[in-house]
Every structure is written in C-alpha cells, then in structure tokens.
Amino acid sequence: MLTLNLDDEAEKYLIEILAQEKTTSQDLVKKLLRQHLTGLKKQPTILERMGGYPSELLEGDPNLSDREVRQQKISEYLQNRHSQ
C-alpha cells in the first residue's frame, strides 16, 4: 500500500482527472506508472527489429561511412552472391 500527500493544486488535478476518466485513483496511478515505464524503455532501432546489422557490410573496411566504399562493398557482395 502506498500513501501520498498531495498539495491542494495536485489534489484538484487528481479529482478532475478521475472525474473525466471515470476511474479510481488506484487504477489511474497504475496506468500512469505503466505508461511512464514504457516510455523509459529503450525502443529497438529499425535495424534491430529487422534482425540486426548486415554482417557483410560490417566486416573488413572500417571506413564504411564513405559512400564510395559502401557502394564498392555492396557491389562486391552482390557479384559474389550472383556468381555462386
């Protein structure tokens, strides 16, 4: 059990929210805590959701930030894949 002491302003906010949401203070606090925790969790990047970073492009040359190097690596990978 948790007991909170709210100042007058916070108590007015709570009463207004409870009236609009038509819920109990316990349910409201649970909902707000769940939303806050969800916001704190790190969301996976799109590459992580797609299965991670392509290992073919991460091996070898560390200068993959250069566009020409990336194009060359992709070209080599596709040629090797096509020839197999």
What is the tally of structural domains in the chain?
A: 2
Q: What is the mean pLDDT of each run of 10 residues along the chain (84 residues)?
A: 90 94 92 91 81 68 74 88 84
pLDDT at 42: 81
For residue 49, tell me if it sits in a domain: no
- Classify residue 68: in a domain, yes or no: yes
pLDDT value of position 74: 87
58 in the same domain as 34: no
State the pLDDT at residue 10: 93
Task: Report the C-alpha dihedral over residues 72, 75, 77, 81, rounded to 10 degrees.
Answer: -160
Q: What is the C-alpha to C-alpha distance for residues 15 and 77, in angstroms, rounded to an integer?
A: 63
Phi, psi of 50 (to 5 degrees): -90, 0
Q: List Cβ neighbours of 47 (8 Å cut-off, separation of 6 or more).
A: 53
According to the model, what pLDDT value does residue 5 have? 93
- pLDDT value at position 66? 78
Predicted pLDDT of residue 67: 83
